[in-house]
Structure 1
Amino acid sequence: MQSTELAQDMLGRRIDRPVPLRERVYEAMQELIISGSLAPGQHLVESELAETLGVSRQPVREALQLLNSDGWVDLRPGYGAFVHAPTDQEVDQLLAVRSVLEGESARLAAQQADADGVARLRELCDEGEAAIAADDIDRIVAANAELHRYVTQLSDNKVLLDFVTQVDRRVRWYYTPIARQRGTDSWREHRRLIDAISNGDSELASRIMREHTDRTRQSYLKEREDAPTTQEQAPPARRRRRTAPRD
């Protein structure tokens, strides 16, 4: 068998490698942060996390390093790990970028979407409104994220989809605290957006999406402004090293 034939044959025989445990722990902890189960500023104790997730401390330690690199966790020498508390500037900048990206997504979606795509958007809107009626925050956030992702998917621009996907999880993190506050207004705006996409009105779709995402941005910043001032959780005291008694 020639080398090229061997290479082609081997492509179909590659062994699937299991996802490293640290990455599974990373994803689990990331979801706990997004959902608010782990709150901004909360001290993360390796032993407690290991017990909760049913793993040893080593993959937890490795996951914390990855989460620190990606801005989800802050590692403070001598104190430990803490859930990152995003600043107003961080949130404002990311949601401003999201508005630009998704405004373009909506514009292209209005040009590309077919009847099946529009029908799927309406289904997702129904799911979101049902979640609102049930006051199910997790379902609201999930439906909102899926609808926005699907609009970008309908744009048929893979580069744009990659960029939107990169910010999706952090947007979910910022949206969760205000999902109830945005309530039915958010889904009413979604309905208007879907109508514009269905009618092929790309400029209107883009404008509605930009206004929609900007309202979410302003709502988050207002929620932060109105929240009662709380002191940041104090880090645990450093342990003093024992010194040998002098002679």
Structure 2
Amino acid sequence: MTQPAAGIPGSKGRPPGRPRLLGEGATRRVERPAPLRQAVYDALIELIVNQTLKPGQHLVELELAEYLGVSRQPVREALQRLQTEGWVDLRPAQGAFVHTPTDEEADQLLGVRVVLETHSAQLAAGRATAEDVQRLWELQQIGIEALASADTEGLVVANANLHTCITNLSGNKVLAEMIAMVDRRVRWYYTPIARPRGKDAWTEHADLIKAIAAGNAELASKTMHQHAERTRQAYHEQRAAAQ
């Protein structure tokens, strides 16, 4: 008797004794990536993060499509994805609106950031080389220049780059991945306070770099914890003043 030919799991031609891993009706095609869809998604998040699209703002598919130079379909798909991830609210019979973060949401996210980045700074202090410290000072200078020119977007980017550099210096890939997951939302919350917080924030950055340069893990941890906590407090103070 002829033996069945070898095949992929779940196929009729699988070798004898091999368990069926997929049902006969399961799809066998892998969806190809959709770069345009992803590009539109990334562009809309960036517009939300930098406050071009402000919390509570009505999002009109046609206007967004014209602004981005694409059809309405990838915009519609991006808005649905943004809704599932909490960036956008889809309201029946009204449309899409930029999500307005609640105080609780912001506090939870910024609280997680305090924990993660405090540990990141502690690890970085034990690993940073002279070249690493020099890079931190270069990023610090970029932030100081953005502060002097009242460049809000530049401040947000410089702040994110400095913190990312410290995260990378920690040498902990899992920690870096976790921090990257919250980075965009942190930038979103940080944008309104970047300039009011500016001078104090960059003074604290300098103290943090000095602690890392000295290899003082305890001081670096303490300095980062205070820095992140003050940012959280500043966000809540700004929200209270705005209300």
Give the structure-2-normalised TM-score.
Answer: 0.86
Say yes or no: does 1:224 pair with 2:220. Answer: no
Which residue of structure 2 lines up, in the alignment, with residue 84 of structure 1?
Answer: 99
CA distance in 2, matches of 1:98, 1:138: 20
TM-aligned CA deviation for residue 19 of structure 1:
4.6
Say yes or no: does 1:194 pair with 2:209. Answer: yes
Letter in 2 for 1:119: Q
Which of the residues 191, 216, 221 maps onto 1:176? 191
Say yes or no: does 1:95 pair with 2:110. Answer: yes
Say yes or no: does 1:121 pair with 2:136. Answer: yes
Letter in 2 for 1:190: H
Say yes or no: does 1:71 pair with 2:83. Answer: no
CA distance in 2, matches of 1:197, 1:22: 41
Which residue of structure 1 lines up, in the alignment, with residue 163 of structure 2?
Answer: 148
How many residues matched?
212
CA distance in 2, matches of 1:122, 1:23: 34
Letter in 2 for 1:123: E
TM-aligned CA deviation for residue 20 of structure 1:
2.5
TM-aligned CA deviation for residue 209 of structure 1:
0.3
CA distance in 2, matches of 1:193, 1:164: 18
CA distance in 1, matches of 2:230, 2:184: 19
CA distance in 2, matches of 1:131, 1:42: 27
Say yes or no: does 1:29 pair with 2:29. Answer: no
Which residue of structure 2 lines up, in the alignment, with residue 245 of structure 1?
Answer: none
Letter in 2 for 1:83: V
CA distance in 1, matches of 2:35, 2:128: 38
Letter in 2 for 1:111: G
TM-aligned CA deviation for residue 160 of structure 1:
0.3
What percent identity do the matched residue pairs reach? 61
Larger relative contact order, structure 1 or 2 (CA cutoff 8 Å, min sep 6):
1
Which residue of structure 2 lines up, in the alignment, with residue 44 of structure 1?
Answer: 59
CA distance in 2, matches of 1:177, 1:212: 17
Aligned-partner SS, 1:27: helix
Which deviations, in whole Å up to 9, do the C-alpha atoms of 1:130-161 show, x marking residues without a partner? 10001111111000000001100000000000
Letter in 2 for 1:208: T
Which deviations, in whole Å up to 9, do the C-alpha atoms of 1:54-79 show, x marking residues without a partner? 10100000000111111100111211
Say yes or no: does 1:108 pair with 2:116. Answer: no
Query: What are structure 2's unaligned runs of at least 5 residues?
Result: 1-31
* Structure 1 stretches of 4+ moved >4 Å: none
Aligned-partner SS, 2:52: coil
Which of the residues 165, 173, 177 maps onto 2:180? 165
Which deviations, in whole Å up to 9, do the C-alpha atoms of 1:177-214 show, x marking residues without a partner? 00011011100000000000000100110010010011
Which residue of structure 1 lines up, in the alignment, with residue 8 of structure 2?
Answer: none
Which residue of structure 2 lines up, in the alignment, with residue 237 of structure 1?
Answer: none
What's the C-alpha RMSD, in Å, of the aligned pairs? 0.9
Which deviations, in whole Å up to 9, do the C-alpha atoms of 1:194-244 show, x marking residues without a partner? 0000001001100100100110000000000011x4xxxxxxxxxxxxxxx
Query: What are structure 1's unaligned runs of at least 5 residues?
Result: 1-16, 230-247
